[in-house]
Amino acid sequence: MSNENLKTVLQEKRTFQPQDHFQKNAKIQSMEAYKEKYRESIENPEEFWANAASELHFFKKWDRVLNAENPPFYRWFEGGKTNICYNCIDRHLDSATRNKAAIIWEGEPGDEVVLTYADLARKVNQLANGLKKLGVQKGDRIAIYLPMIPELAISVLACARIGAVHSVIFAGFSADSISDRINDCQAKITITSDGVWRKGKKLLLKNIVDEAVKKCPSIEKNIVVKRSHKDHFECAMDENKDIWYHDLIENCSLSCPAEEMDSEDMLFLLYTSGTTGKPKGIIHTTAGYMLYSYYTSKYVFDLQPEDVYWCTADIGWITGHSYIVYGPLANGATCLMYEGAPNAPHKGRFWEIVEKYRVNIFYTAPTAIRTFMKWGEDWVNKYDISSLRLLGTVGEPINPEAWMWYHKVIGKERCPIVDTWWQTETGGMMITPIPGCTTTKPGSATFPFFGIDATILDKDGNEQDTGFLAVRKPWPGMLRGVYGDEERFKNTYWSQWENIYFPGDGARRDEDGYFWILGRVDDVVNVSGHRIGTAELESIFVSHASVAESAVIGIDHEIKGQAMVAFVSLREGNEGSDSLIEELTQLVIEKIGKFAIPERIIFTADLPKTRSGKIMRRLLRDIAEGRAVGNVTTLADAGVIDALKEKYQED
């Protein structure tokens, strides 16, 4: 969290109680009810999660709820057989939900698709059969590089239906990032589209995949969705390797039995950045993830049958996996999905959509809220957004000012706000208000979700008011590993303390027991809610012939939360210049994508180092943020995160 924001957070005293109109229909209506349910979930977790899981469909019931014999390799619902696609679709087909909208999709130019649960069933079954026709089998990996079009949700569900492991790659990643991920998991098939509309422009995606798969011998076929049968998106098709999605599914049967998956069979991989150069493939498995995304959606969004729910994330990130696709559909909810940018063709686009579809629940990122603040409330007030009843945020700490703006301008002081802390690794929300019962404080994620034994520890495992966030008990949605790298799984998450999960965030607990998440304590920077490892950028810079060394740090950014500043020292005989900055920027675009471009690149003769050779990032941050360089910190002031970082990184 930025220092300025942190200061305001540490002084924040306002509280907001749930209002009667929300509370009276809510699933959980009092703090006593929350506390009672929470107590049960912590005292008897197996009974608690077994009860919760009985709301879902298992082909065969589990033998054992939790196997904790070999930590950190926890196994949930062992012996059970289920299918998450079946639970998201088939489970609803015998009820009135059958003909309810599952997905309402709006394209950037305003085209629309509405799919009922029965429609979605047909489309998913057809594609599942199409994949089978290409020889895809249970356990095969499929790389999905699609924009926010209905086929993205359909592809994810079709993979899950037949037990293929999907690895969705956010459509802002470069060809190099795609090939790294494909090669890491040895995917057999890609699913992409000819293009997408982005801010009124056509963005060609298949080209990028073509570039990527040149370096991916494991790829057998590329399935290509035609974004539009009306507008032409330039796209070269190789007749041996490429196949149009619509050709593939033509004549495919509308029914495909859902594979009976073991509870612990792999469901998907999602790559995320860590402290070292290489992104890691986070593994999620079937039953536990299914239950956790279902159950958190149900209680945190307080889903009611008639709700229209909109999460503005991209399915390319975990938020979209858990809270656009799996969680809401497992609940039989109506999910809105939007292709484009919030300012295309105008800055009121989101509110226009809320008005048009009468959206009731809206889930977005603090960086988006700060952007709307900058654009001004006139854009909001042009539309009737009175349908909204619940607001949520995710992805980064929210500063109280943005929280208050969200509360007033979007929520009209009527809607509860759920500030949900979680991670790719946790599968679902971990620390979050429950909207009908939790009194919120602007900037605090409040209390742990059911079954989550969260606390704050120091390096040695002693409880503290300020320190490292920690989770003492396993939970169903937890990651099961890092693909192909067991050591990294153990080292990153389980080596700080014994059998306690280490998320990598700093946190504080106030006198009322509220959790305040302070930001990453490792070298991961959160730019507009996108997680970027500073080491990833550093290794890109040093791959340039002129660069000797590089250190990348995160600094405060008014809109993005954090931005990256790169310090670069050059090899003898080279000089920093605008054209070198341009070259380094191009390298970042090529290796990762535009969203990872640092705010500034600063050439420096040397990097400040400790005697043992460690780069002193805190000093760099002071320089980049224009503060007097110093090392004075006390835990109560804004240096708290830096101080934690230093502790964490001590040898």
Rounded-to-integer distance, Cα 260 and Cα 135, Å: 18
Residues 435-494 that bind ligand WT7 (CB under 6 A): 445
Report if residue 562 touches ligand WT7, rule: CB under 6 A: no
- Please give the distance of CA 373 from its chain centroid, rounded to a whole number: 23
C-beta closer to ligand WT7: residue 233 or 317: 317
Instruction: Tell me which residue of 339, 332, 392, 330 sits closest to 362, measured CA to CA.
Output: 392
Residues 230-289 that bind ligand WT7 (CB under 6 A): 272
Q: Residue 497 phi/psi, 5° resolution?
A: -135, 170
Interface with ligand WT7 by CB under 6 A: which range of 60-68, 128-136, 247-255, 421-429? Answer: 421-429
424 marked among binding-site residues: yes
Rounded-to-integer distance, Cα 619 and Cα 642, Å: 10
The distance of closest approach from Cβ of residue 313 to ligand WT7 in the complex, given in angstroms and rounded to an integer, is: 7
Rounded-to-integer distance, Cα 541 and Cα 581, Å: 10
Rounded-to-integer distance, Cα 2 and Cα 599, Å: 15
C-beta closer to ligand WT7: residue 416 or 519: 519
**Secondary structure element (H or E) that encloses residue 352, with its range:** helix 349-357
* The binder of ligand WT7 chosen from 316, 327, 397, 448 (CB under 6 A): 397
CB atoms within 10 A of CB 197: 23
Give the CA dihedral 24, 26, 30, 32, nearest 10 degrees. Answer: 140
The distance of closest approach from Cβ of residue 469 to ligand WT7 in the complex, given in angstroms and rounded to an integer, is: 8
C-beta closer to ligand WT7: residue 85 or 641: 641
Report if residue 82 touches ligand WT7, rule: CB under 6 A: no
Q: Which residue is nearest to ligand WT7 (CB)?
A: 424
C-beta closer to ligand WT7: residue 124 or 471: 471
Rounded-to-integer distance, Cα 281 and Cα 273, Å: 9
HEC string for 478-509? CCCEECCCHHHHHHHHHCCCCCCECCCEEEEE
Mask for 487-506, x = binds ligand WT7 (CB under 6 A): ----------------xxx-
The distance of closest approach from Cβ of residue 461 to ligand WT7 in the complex, given in angstroms and rounded to an integer, is: 20
Interface with ligand WT7 by CB under 6 A: which range of 240-248, 350-358, 384-392, 416-424? Answer: 416-424
* The binder of ligand WT7 chosen from 531, 560, 591, 621 (CB under 6 A): 531
Contacts of 161 (CB under 8 A, 6+ apart): 83, 85, 86, 124, 125, 128, 256, 258, 259
Report if residue 395 touches ligand WT7, rule: CB under 6 A: yes
Interface with ligand WT7 by CB under 6 A: which range of 35-43, 45-53, 125-133, 517-525? Answer: 517-525
Cα-based angle 538, 541, 544 (whole degrees, multiple of 5)? 150
Size of the site for ligand WT7 (CB under 6 A): 23
Residue 141: burial class (beta carbons within 10 Å; 0-12, 13-18, 19+):
buried
C-beta closer to ligand WT7: residue 297 or 420: 420
* DSSP letters spanning 205-239: -HHHHHHHHTT-TT--EEEEE-S-SSS-------T
Structure letter (DSSP) for residue 63: S
* The binder of ligand WT7 chosen from 179, 424, 444, 446 (CB under 6 A): 424
* The binder of ligand WT7 chosen from 155, 319, 331, 334 (CB under 6 A): 319
Pairing of strands 466-471, 454-457: antiparallel
Report if residue 129 touches ligand WT7, rule: CB under 6 A: no
Report if residue 151 touches ligand WT7, rule: CB under 6 A: no
Which residue positions form the known binding site for Mg(2+)? 542, 544, 547
Which residue positions form the known binding site? 198-201, 319, 343, 395-397, 419-424, 505, 520, 528, 531, 542, 544, 547
Interface with ligand WT7 (CB under 6 A): 272, 318-319, 394-397, 419-424, 445, 503-505, 517, 519-520, 526, 529, 531
